[in-house]
């Protein structure tokens, strides 16, 4: 079974702190994604990566950056956390670039910024 793990289920940070959210997948997938999920807004794509050291902006990249130094690990960085970044963050991976690829999601990290 594909497993996508996220470093924390719950995280509380203060405004202005630098926040790292880690995601690891164990199935040698090429593609990895970071989404945020807010009530009534579905999943919004923050950043994604189709290869190591490669990244592409999604719909809402402002205030975020990412790092993919190894194929299995994709990190989301909040350079200076703000209260409007309080949200559920979901990481996903998929095997290839086909249109019918399945995305496998981690359990999510609920981040609260005070």
Partner 1 sequence: TQLLEQSPQFLSIQEGENLTVYCNSSSVFSSLQWYRQEPGEGPVLLVTVVTGGEVKKLKRLTFQFGDARKDSSLHITAAQPGDTGLYLCAGWDTGRRALTFGSGTRLQVQP
By beta-carbon proximity to partner 1, the closer residue of 16 and 96 is: 96
Stretch that binds partner 1, among 11-19, 52-60, 66-74, 79-87 (CB under 8 A): 52-60
Closest approach of Cβ 84 to partner 1, in Å?
19
Using CB under 8 A as the binding rule, whether residue 100 contacts partner 1 is answered as yes
Q: DSSP letters of 62-110?
A: TTEEEEEEETTEEEEEESS--GGG-EEEEEEEESSS-TTPPPEE---EE
- Nearest to partner 1 of 11, 45 (CB atom): 45
- Is residue 87 packed enough to be buried (19+ CB in 10 Å), middle (13-18) or exposed (0-12)? buried
- Binding string, residues 15-34; x marks residues near partner 1 by CB under 8 A: ------------------x-
Phi, psi of 63 (to 5 degrees): 90, 0
Query: Strand 109-113 to strand 10-13: parallel, antiparallel, or no bridges (unpaired)?
Result: parallel
Token pair listed for 102: 């399945």
58 is an interface residue for partner 1 by CB under 8 A: yes
Residues near partner 1, by CB under 8 A: 4, 33, 35, 40-45, 48, 50, 56, 58-59, 90, 92, 97, 99-100, 102-108
């Amino acid at each position: 079974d594909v497993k996508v793990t996220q470093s924390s289920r719950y995280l509380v940070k203060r405004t202005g702190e630098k926040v790292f959210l880690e995601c690891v997948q164990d199935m040698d997938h090429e593609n990895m994604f970071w989404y945020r999920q807010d009530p009534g807004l579905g999943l919004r794509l923050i950043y994604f990566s189709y290869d190591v050291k490669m990244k592409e902006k999604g719909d809402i990249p402002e205030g975020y950056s990412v790092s993919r130094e190894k194929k299995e690990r994709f990190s989301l960085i909040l350079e200076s956390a703000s209260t409007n970044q309080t949200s559920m963050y979901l990481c996903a991976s998929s095997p290839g670039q086909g249109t019918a690829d399945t995305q496998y999601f981690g359990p999510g990290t609920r981040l609260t910024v005070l």
